[in-house]
Amino acid sequence: MNNKPTLILLPKRDELDQVLSRDIAKILATSLHNHGNASLAVSGGSTPENMLSLLGRAPLDWPLVQTLLVDERWVANDHASSNEAMLRKTLLKGAAGTSQYLPLKNNADSAENGQHLLEAELDTLAWPLSLVHLGMGEDGHTASWFHDAPEYQALCAAHAQHCFAVQPGSAPYPRITLSPNAVFNSEKIVIHITGRAKREVLEKALSKDADYPISMVLHQQQVPVDIYWAP
């Protein structure tokens, strides 16, 4: 498979949000038609908020869609830094609120202990995922794959685990994240980025010998990748 990522450039962020939400809805609709179910893993942060709100209103058979986050900070689900809190104000506030939502954060006292509980829940999902939506930081990280996390090398090398607890040095809070193994066990990946600084990092990450975490996604040959960017 010659899996060179497709770059989709939009002139404005609101147009990107509209196009990407439409494209994701089409992919989910196709999966629902072909398989009778669909699954969607989405990223947190501020960049996708408007897009997720638009997607949440799409006229899909949402009760047959499994939704989950790509990664989560190990904080209460009503914490200001919780990705789930953002998701409940955007995607899950619309019709998508009837989807089968699987939280990554559970009641365990630590991300390390929570990982074992979450792994068992993720095992019950119907793999591969229909679509994984990723973002990217200006340091080239995606999901919670951080170079400076002690768990990074094990995370990259794992071939069976669906999730990892990580403690990045450059970012606050312990985190739980889908592993590369889980992200690449999908039918489609979209990368959602904005701004010229991230575009420059993306161009570097696309180079043959780049070692950014996002480079794992850009260089793998298992899953087609579309990159959506606006200034």
Q: What is the pLDDT of residues 126-173, one digit of tens each?
A: 999 999 999 999 999 999 999 999 999 999 999 999 999 999 999 999
173 found inside a domain: yes
152 found inside a domain: yes
Number of domains in the chain: 1
63 found inside a domain: yes
Q: Which range of residues forms the domain containing residue 146?
A: 6-230
Q: Model-level pTM greater than 0.95?
A: yes
1 found inside a domain: no
pLDDT-derived band at 2, boundaries 50, 70, 90: low
Look up the CATH number of the domain holding residue 98. 3.40.50.1360
Instruction: Please write down the HEC assignment for all residues of the chain.
Output: CCCCCEEEECCCHHHHHHHHHHHHHHHHHHHHHHHCCEEEEECCCCCCHHHHHHHHCCCCCHHHEEEEECEEECCCCCCCCCHHHHHHHCHHHCHHHHCEEECCCCCCCCHHHHHHHHHHHHHCCCCCECEEEECCCCCCCECCECCCCCCHHHHHHCCCCCEEEECCCCCCCCEEEECHHHHCCECCEEEEEECHHHHHHHHHHCCCCCCCHHHHHHHCCCCCEEEEEEC
27 found inside a domain: yes
pLDDT-derived band at 202, boundaries 50, 70, 90: very high
Q: Supply the pLDDT for residue 3.
A: 75
User: What's the chain's average pLDDT?
Assistant: 96
149 found inside a domain: yes
